[in-house]
């Protein structure tokens, strides 16, 4: 006898009862891009709906986010001055440190995650100190200044640190630095499996972080490598990561599931700028049902094993979920 799968699909209430995967506003972290100045809110042409904002505008944005039930954000800084080592990120008066303090003062209930990297802060656009001879990033020298940056974030009041530079040993380095400075309870969300991807293009517009030479293939992962992708995340777990991540998300859901099956840690995905822009422009040109496609994409992340979704769509998803409750 064949099985009548359609029995549980005929009634909408029954479909809801047997639905295996759901999306909640609590699943999301919303990225924000902060720069110095006042009354600055500049939309990025390659990412409609995403803005570079001054701190005063970020504070207004946090109020709007809370009204939607979004309390978790991840901050990216855009400094006025860049140099070879990203000095602004190593300064207690740098843009990220100022932003963290301001947000926590006005919105102490916001959960502030900080992206820990150097690409936005360096004049060469790479994720650390340059190894000139090999034309790449010097891994161990970058670990040292990454520890300094982590302490800056912690002192300013960050609730979680997310190192994204893909340096070998970064999680152990940061865990040791944080623990030895009294921040043993500050969690680390590792960009544990981050691919050298073409999907990052629009992000580099908003963060002003395009490399001035070469690419990041010598430290970010080869998109073709499955076994290495899993090993990267398992290694970060062993070094003391509290949350693992796969970035990008949409083209790597097989990796998300495989890592999820091999770890007991929470799993995040980063729904990156190129993924966002594809849906956004397709929707603006009436090529897709934008809201349905966006929600279907979010469901796919959860179904693959993601517990946390970092997404530029987060506000729109929250608005849809809020309306559905009315």
Distance from C-alpha of 20 to C-alpha of 73, rounded to nearest angstrom: 27
Tell me what pLDDT residue 215 has: 67
**Helices 290-304/253-262 angle, 10° precision:** 30
Tell me what pLDDT residue 148 has: 95
Distance from C-alpha of 173 to C-alpha of 150, rounded to nearest angstrom: 10
Distance from C-alpha of 189 to C-alpha of 158, rounded to nearest angstrom: 12
Question: What are 326's two structure tokens?
Answer: 């009315």
Strand, helix or coil for residue 300:
helix
Domains of the chain, residue spans: 20-324
Tell me what pLDDT residue 35 has: 94
Tell me what pLDDT residue 213 has: 60
Q: Which residues are catalytic?
A: 194, 247
Is residue 46 over pLDDT 90?
Answer: yes
Tell me what pLDDT residue 11 has: 95
Tell me what pLDDT residue 50 has: 95
pLDDT-based confidence at residue 137 (cuts at 50, 70, 90): confident
Give 190-248 pLDDT, tens digit per residue.
999 999 999 998 876 766 667 656 567 778 899 999 999 999 999 999 999 999 999 99
Mean pLDDT of 153-172: 95
Say which range, 116-125, 189-198, 259-268, has the weakest mean pLDDT.
116-125
Distance from C-alpha of 158 to C-alpha of 81, rounded to nearest angstrom: 23
The closest of 126, 215, 113 to 163, measured between CA atoms, is 113
Which carries the bigger pLDDT value, residue 149 or residue 325?
Answer: 149
Share of the chain above pLDDT 90, in %: 79
Tell me what pLDDT residue 216 has: 73
Is residue 326 over pLDDT 60?
Answer: no
Tell me what pLDDT residue 89 has: 85
Residue pointed to by tokens 């990052």: 200
Q: Whole-model pTM?
A: 0.94
Share of the chain above pLDDT 70, in %: 96
**Helices 95-106/139-156 angle, 10° precision:** 30
Distance from C-alpha of 260 to C-alpha of 245, rounded to nearest angstrom: 10
The closest of 284, 302, 232 to 262, measured between CA atoms, is 232
Tell me what pLDDT residue 261 has: 97
Which carries the bigger pLDDT value, residue 134 or residue 244?
Answer: 244
Tell me what pLDDT residue 212 has: 59
Tell me what pLDDT residue 209 has: 65
Strands (E), the chain: 28-35, 41-44, 47-54, 72-78, 111-116, 130-131, 136-137, 160-163, 193-194, 244-247, 267-271, 308-311
Please give the C-alpha separations between residue 201 and each of 27, 154, 171, in angstroms, as whole numbers: 25, 29, 26
Is residue 271 over pLDDT 70?
Answer: yes
Give 59-102 pLDDT, tens digit per residue.
999 999 999 999 999 999 998 888 888 888 889 999 999 999 99
Question: What are 266's two structure tokens?
Answer: 């929470």
Topology (CATH) of 20-324: TIM Barrel (3.20.20)
Is residue 19 over pLDDT 80?
Answer: yes
Which carries the bigger pLDDT value, residue 126 or residue 179?
Answer: 179
315 C-beta neighbours (distance < 10 Å), count: 18
């Amino acid at each position: 006898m064949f099985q009548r799968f359609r029995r549980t699909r005929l009634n909408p209430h029954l479909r809801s009862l047997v639905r295996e995967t759901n999306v909640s506003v609590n699943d999301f972290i919303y990225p924000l891009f902060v720069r110095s100045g006042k009354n600055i809110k500049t939309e990025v042409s390659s990412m409609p709906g995403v803005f570079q904002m001054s701190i005063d505008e970020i504070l207004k944005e946090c109020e709007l986010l809370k009204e939607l039930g979004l309390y978790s954000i991840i901050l990216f800084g855009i400094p006025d001055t860049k140099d070879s080592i990203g000095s602004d990120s190593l300064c207690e008066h740098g843009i990220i440190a100022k932003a963290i303090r301001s947000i926590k003062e006005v919105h102490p209930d916001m959960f502030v995650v900080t992206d820990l990297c150097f690409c936005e802060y360096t004049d060469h656009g790479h994720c650390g100190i340059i190894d000139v001879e090999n034309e790449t990033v010097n891994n161990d020298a970058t670990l040292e200044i990454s520890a300094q940056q982590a302490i800056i974030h912690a002192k300013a009041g960050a609730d979680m640190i997310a190192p994204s530079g893909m340096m070998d040993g970064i999680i152990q380095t940061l865990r040791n630095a944080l623990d030895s400075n009294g921040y043993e309870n500050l969690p680390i969300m590792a960009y544990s499996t981050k691919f050298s991807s073409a999907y990052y293009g629009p992000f580099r517009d908003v963060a002003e972080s395009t490399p001035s030479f070469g690419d990041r293939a010598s430290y970010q992962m080869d998109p073709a490598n499955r076994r290495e992708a899993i090993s990267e995340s398992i290694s970060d777990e062993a070094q003391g990561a509290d949350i693992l991540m796969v970035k990008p998300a949409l083209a790597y859901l097989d990796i998300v599931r495989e890592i999820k099956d091999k770890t007991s840690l929470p799993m995040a995905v980063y729904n990156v700028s190129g993924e966002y822009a594809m849906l956004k422009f397709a929707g603006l040109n009436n090529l897709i049902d934008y809201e349905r496609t966006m929600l279907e994409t979010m469901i796919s992340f959860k179904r693959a094993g993601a517990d946390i979704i970092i997404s530029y769509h987060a506000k729109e998803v929250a608005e849809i979920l809020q309306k559905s409750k009315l």
